[in-house]
Structure 1
Amino acid sequence: MAIGSTIEMEREWVKEVKEFDESKMGVQGLLDSGVTTIPRIFIHPPENLSDLQPSSTHFEIPVIDLSITNCSKVIDQIKESFSTWGFFQVINHGIPMQDIEDTIKAFKSFHEQPKEIKSAYVWDQKVSYYSNFNIMWSKAVNWKDSLRVFTSPNPPKLETIPSVCRKEVMQWDEYMKGLCETLMELMCEGLGVNKNRLKELSCLGMRKFVCHYYPYCPQPDLTLGLPTHTDRGVLTLLLQNEVSGLQIKYGDEWVEVKPIHGAIIVNVGDLLQIFTNDQFKSVEHRVLANACKESRVSAAVIYNPGKRGESDIYGPLTELLSPENPALYRNFTIPEILKQGLTDDSSSKAIVDLFRLNCNDND
């Protein structure tokens, strides 16, 4: 193809993406307008679509029951799950089922409002509604809409959170903070460090809530809900409704994370892999475009260190290091990450690769 034609196609693609972004209608708005095929800006490269179906049906991610009275058993299960899978689902976590159902219903209600209401939240500093975070820099647009709220350390004013899910956002933030603190303590005990070690690193200090909404896609074999990536933070806690779509990479296979009513999915982020010096693994995952008429709803709370100054140093926990187990990563600051533009989960192992030491650096 001639260079001039390629440039013109790229310009047209950028124009279409910009028009979609500025329309503020989101993916749900496209469906409301009556589309029966997806616009070309949503069509992903063939290499992203070659293995959409899970390659195995006999693998399932671990399920951990927090009601078990044998605490050492739970600690061992968490350590084993994070060392091999990077994921697990937690049940009997103490959050009332009615509150879980009300939360999902409220988040779904937000995304099904008219665009005139949702567009009031486009790219606010603390409360944002958008379709794709890095839409102008992506190879293809993803078939989803999102609501994002930064709940800590400086929460937004309550009146700036959409009224249809305001109570649920704040309540869910409190539920997840409590559950995450418990899980971090158990993780630390599994690692053999002080149970408050991650809390002391301010890993509960910055919390970002993101509700993804995946409506029905008329051509799910041509696009994705979220492409393959790893989370960049410390830990992610995710609630999903009973519409499947999330898959994780286990070895060379894609494994479906089958919904369990009321369960919370927990997964390792890149920063936690670094803090544990590779004892825990951040694992690639993705979300398929939704082929069901019922929308898929997920609500993630992503945890990052709250101390973010130039003097706040992070790296592998020193208690885990020894001459036999040297540091695999150099120390760093959060501003170093921000300067690299690594602020969203759009690729795999970006932070891990950025700070990993060469073999010769350990000699």
Structure 2
Amino acid sequence: MASNGTASDRAAALKDFDESKIGVKGLSDSGITSIPSIFLHPPSILSDLHSSSPTNAAIPVIDLSHASSQTHRATIVQQVREAAKTWGFFQVINHGVHVSVLDQTIAAIKAFHDQPQHIKANYYKREEGQGFMYASNNDLYRSDAASWHDSVQAWMTPEAPKAEDLPEICGGEMLAWDSHAKAVADTVMELLSEGLGLEREKFKELAFTESRAMVGHCYPYCPQPDLTMGITPHTDPGTITVLLQNQVAGLQVKHGPHWVPVNPLPGALIINAGDMLQIISNGEYTSVQHRVLANSEKESRISIVIFFNVGKWRGSDGPDGYYGPLPELLSPEKPPLYRDFTMKEFLDNFYSKGIDTKSLPQKLEIQHHS
């Protein structure tokens, strides 16, 4: 709730902002020097914006150049397992995607966001789940305070969008990036699968990268970055996330009590485990809180995120399938930490509120009494 005004004032201000279709990029470009009240976050969220982390702390960087080599694979599996277990985040280099492709993808998403407002407004909507959309804050009406970012979203499954359904300025690059990022995700999934002592192809058979959505965030310059957030602390809901970012910093990962900055590494991709992977791995891998600070740089921060999710739900071909910890990972010594859940529970949990932290694993936790 904004510190000034009533709930009805806030609701009206949200509606005005949404219907203007201007986005935060439009507000930023207009030269405002103070941000609207709907973007003001409470002190509880802002209190640790500048808390310092240990100077040498950094998410692991894993070189995938020898991932197919018999000699090196076991070491890389161990590195991925350790990173996913202790950090929930890691960067990969030598992942097989040429740096020119990374640059073109970033440039295309930036070009969309840099267009005049009246052009972008044609794509502005809030119906999620298929096709292409542009909006500011996908949880605008569900969160306590709006955050300082705009996004484009495209659903790549169950049916990939046709090029003509995407904006010409970025559509071709988005389709190309989807196939590149999926190839990297498939490689990482094999390594994660082996890290649990499972067959290399196990996660592929379970269709862990089959359902996916792409989001292209723009975090424009914010005149009062200490009063709002780029994105509030949250965990991702799916199996894994592949993130490509430009060289403007802002992403931070929670590690123990500290927020650790993820400094952009040219040519690298960031991988993180989602809530679903934590549940499926029975807690062996962990989804970790992360956030993005409001951008104080004149250059926009651009990040392109692909959220991967399970494509097939067990036990049914229909919507009533279920998921839970993989039976192969359970034993009398390692009982399930989470109960099984349905796709409906998964979606209801995500869309019932603003983005948040591990609400699904917490709801599904089984209490074991010793």
* Shorter-chain TM-score above 0.5: yes
**Aligned positions of 1:42-57 closer than 5 A:** 42-56=39-53, 57=55
**Aligned partners of 1:240 and 1:259 also within 8 Å:** yes
Relative to structure 2, which stretch is displaced further, 276-285 or 329-338? 329-338
Query: In the alignment, which of 107, 110, 135 is matched to residue 108 of structure 1?
Result: 110
Query: In the alignment, which of 174, 180, 184 is matched to residue 169 of structure 1?
Result: 174
Q: Structure 1 pair 344/233, CA: closer, same or farther in 2 (3 Å)?
A: farther
Matched, 1:132 2:137: yes
Structure 2 CA distance for aligned equivalents of residues 298 and 7 of structure 1: 32
**Aligned partners of 2:349 and 2:360 also within 8 Å:** no
Secondary structure of the residue aligned to 1:61 is: coil
* 1:162 CA displacement: 1.0
Structure 2 CA distance for aligned equivalents of residues 355 and 347 of structure 1: 15
2:198 counterpart residue number: 193
Structure 1 CA distance for aligned equivalents of residues 7 and 298 of structure 2: 33
Relative to structure 2, which stretch is displaced further, 53-62 or 87-96? 53-62
* 1:319 CA displacement: 1.0
Whichever residue aligns with residue 226 of structure 1, its letter is: I
Structure 1 CA distance for aligned equivalents of residues 235 and 319 of structure 2: 25
Q: Structure 1 pair 159/332, CA: closer, same or farther in 2 (3 Å)?
A: same
2:163 counterpart residue number: 158
Q: Deviations over 1:314-358 (max 9, x none)?
A: 111111111000011111221222234547870000111121112
Q: Deviations over 1:179-224 (max 9, x none)?
A: 1111101111111012122122221111100011000100000000
Segments of 5+ residues of structure 1 without an aligned counterpart are: 1-5
Secondary structure of the residue aligned to 1:152 is: coil
Whichever residue aligns with residue 194 of structure 2, its letter is: E
Secondary structure of the residue aligned to 1:177 is: helix
Whichever residue aligns with residue 65 of structure 2, its letter is: S
1:67 counterpart residue number: 65
Structure 2 CA distance for aligned equivalents of residues 58 and 155 of structure 1: 42
Structure 1 CA distance for aligned equivalents of residues 93 and 364 of structure 2: 34
Matched, 1:9 2:6: yes
**Aligned partners of 2:142 and 2:354 also within 8 Å:** no
**Aligned partners of 2:108 and 2:170 also within 8 Å:** yes
Structure 1 CA distance for aligned equivalents of residues 246 and 193 of structure 2: 30
TM-score (norm 1): 0.94
Structure 1 CA distance for aligned equivalents of residues 349 and 41 of structure 2: 25
Structure 1 CA distance for aligned equivalents of residues 114 and 277 of structure 2: 35
Secondary structure of the residue aligned to 1:28 is: helix
Relative to structure 2, which stretch is displaced further, 302-311 or 54-63? 302-311
1:252 counterpart residue number: 257
Whichever residue aligns with residue 71 of structure 1, its letter is: R
Matched, 1:38 2:35: yes
Query: In the alignment, which of 296, 302, 311 is matched to residue 306 of structure 1?
Result: 311
TM-score (norm 2): 0.93
Q: Deviations over 1:46-79 (max 9, x none)?
A: 1100111252122000000001341111100000
* 1:310 CA displacement: 3.8
Structure 2 CA distance for aligned equivalents of residues 54 and 341 of structure 1: 29
Q: Structure 1 pair 344/193, CA: closer, same or farther in 2 (3 Å)?
A: farther
2:99 counterpart residue number: 97
2:336 counterpart residue number: 327
Secondary structure of the residue aligned to 1:267 is: strand
**Aligned positions of 1:258-277 closer than 5 A:** 258-277=263-282
Query: In the alignment, which of 221, 228, 232 is matched to residue 216 of structure 1?
Result: 221
2:82 counterpart residue number: 80
Q: Deviations over 1:21-44 (max 9, x none)?
A: 110000111122221111111110
